[in-house]
Amino acid sequence: MVDFQLSNTLKILLNQIIDGKQQIEDTVLKEIPTIDLLQTLIHIHYTEGLYDISDIHNLIHHYNIHSEIELQHVYVSLDDDHPLNILIRENDSFNIQLNSLKDKLPALEVNKDSSIIENELQALSKVYAHYNRKEKLLFPLLERHQIYTLPRKMWALDDDIRSHYNQLRNRIKRIHEIEFRHIKKSFDLLFNDMHKMMLYEEDILIPFIQELFNEADFVRIANESAAFGYAVNVNRVWNVQSLPLKQRDESIDYTQNIKIGGGYLTLKEAELILNNLPVEITFVDKNGLFKYFNEITSSANMMFIRTPLSIGRLVANCHPPKSLKKVMKIMRMLKNKEESSVTMWFKKGDEFIYVTYKALFDEHDEYQGILEYVQDIQPFLDLPKSIKRDIN
């Protein structure tokens, strides 16, 4: 619930900052709890569409003057390998690489030699790992606290930044064919939006997370982060001694036979079968909740990376805003039986990924959810034409 009195107070202060007043009436800030400040700023900026993140950054500077801690400071842990400190370290690295690339643009324009900036471009490509961890590990936990606007808006800007990066790389490959101003334009878009995202993360996201998440949340994030990779060196998986890794629930009988399909299986046998099928399976229930995935390999080696933190998440929130319309259209078509299944395929390195979506209906023809199964069909394409019926 938005406190409109607080909202109006913050707007007055923001207007004073924009007007360039040397002294603003900011003593009121010391009475505002951090969580209320952040929630109100999110509403003002994202929902009402007012003020630039740089103005909000200046307001937070005034807030820090009256606060016991600096809002952007990671106070939950001083450990460099804590998930939040990793984000900060990555942003520091991105900032260095962006400035280095900017300094080398004049030489690039004269020499037309892309190798001049290859190291910077390679380092900046790690922003994919940075954003993927944020979207797949931090955002699900924010949603469990009923925070939706911030993740969706940030994910949209992440997608823009990825697009700017790809455009810059593609234009640099054509440096001998196009005017340099096009390369400069792509770089400026990347530079400005990445710096904007750094402010969003360090002024709003990280302070917000520190107010909401507990140690168990950070342990789960740390345990699942390696699947997506890092932009900096991470020496170990962060943990706290008081929180051991989750063990198997001993109250469940994994040996009891259950009637399944045309026979009987124990829960242990069913789990082993599902985890040894040569396909990655995902199930979204009839309410649109991501409910299950099998574990045929580690998350890092999956064709579509899935981690336990996403379980229970609305499927609409599991996809980037730019692809949401297509995802919901597929689900609607399958649920309404307009199609019995929907498929797509694409290349990913040495893999040829084939994806199938299928709606599931029970014996009463009532919709129960969507099954997605993903497989690498490259081995089938590589089969020799000769018939093979013997084992060797």
Nearest residue to 80 (alpha-carbon basis) of 88, 72, 92: 88
The CB density around residue 107, as the number of other CB atoms within 10 Å, is 12
Cα–Cα distance, 248 to 327 (Å, whole number)? 33
Is 150 buried (19+), middle (13-18) or exposed (0-12) by CB count in 10 A?
Answer: buried
Cα–Cα distances (Å) from 57 to 64, 71, 164, in that order, read 11, 10, 24
Question: For 207, phi and psi rounded to 5 degrees?
Answer: -60, -40
User: 260-381 — its CATH code?
Assistant: 3.30.450.20
β-strands 290-293, 263-266: how paired? unpaired
Which residues contact residue 31 at a Cβ distance below 8 angstroms, ignoring those fewer than 6 apart?
none
Q: What does each of the 392 residues of the chain score in pLDDT, given as a tens digit?
A: 678 899 999 999 999 888 887 677 778 888 899 999 999 999 999 999 999 999 999 999 989 988 878 888 999 999 999 999 999 999 999 999 999 999 999 999 999 999 999 999 999 999 999 999 999 999 999 999 999 999 999 999 999 999 999 999 999 999 999 999 999 999 999 999 999 999 999 999 999 999 999 999 999 999 999 999 999 999 999 988 655 555 555 678 888 899 988 899 999 999 999 999 999 999 999 999 999 999 988 888 888 888 888 999 998 888 888 888 898 999 999 999 999 999 999 998 889 999 999 999 999 999 999 999 999 999 999 988 888 777 76
What is the per-residue pLDDT for 20?
81
What is the per-residue pLDDT for 247?
54
What is the per-residue pLDDT for 289?
93
What is the per-residue pLDDT for 290?
93
Instruction: Yes or no: say if 77 and 35 are a contact pair by the CB < 8 Å rule.
Output: no
Nearest residue to 354 (alpha-carbon basis) of 297, 280, 243, 285: 280
What is the per-residue pLDDT for 22?
63
Strands in the chain per DSSP E: 257-260, 263-266, 280-285, 290-293, 341-348, 351-361, 367-376
Instruction: Yes or no: say if 216 and 239 are a contact pair by the CB < 8 Å rule.
Output: no
Is 214 buried (19+), middle (13-18) or exposed (0-12) by CB count in 10 A?
Answer: exposed
Question: For 325, phi and psi rounded to 5 degrees?
Answer: -60, -40
Q: Which 3 state secondary structure label does DSSP give 241?
A: coil
Q: What is the three-state SS of 272-290?
A: HHHHHCCCEEEEEECCCEE
pTM of the model: 0.86
What is the CATH T-level fold of the domain 83-225, as seen in this structure? Four Helix Bundle (Hemerythrin (Met), subunit A) (1.20.120)
Cα–Cα distance, 173 to 127 (Å, whole number)? 20
Cα–Cα distance, 372 to 369 (Å, whole number)? 10
What is the per-residue pLDDT for 255?
86
Q: Which 3 state secondary structure label does DSSP give 255?
A: coil
Q: Which residues pair with 342 in a beta bridge?
A: 357
What is the per-residue pLDDT for 243?
53
What is the per-residue pLDDT for 169?
96
The domain limits of the chain are 4-65, 83-225, 260-381
H or E element, residue 247: none
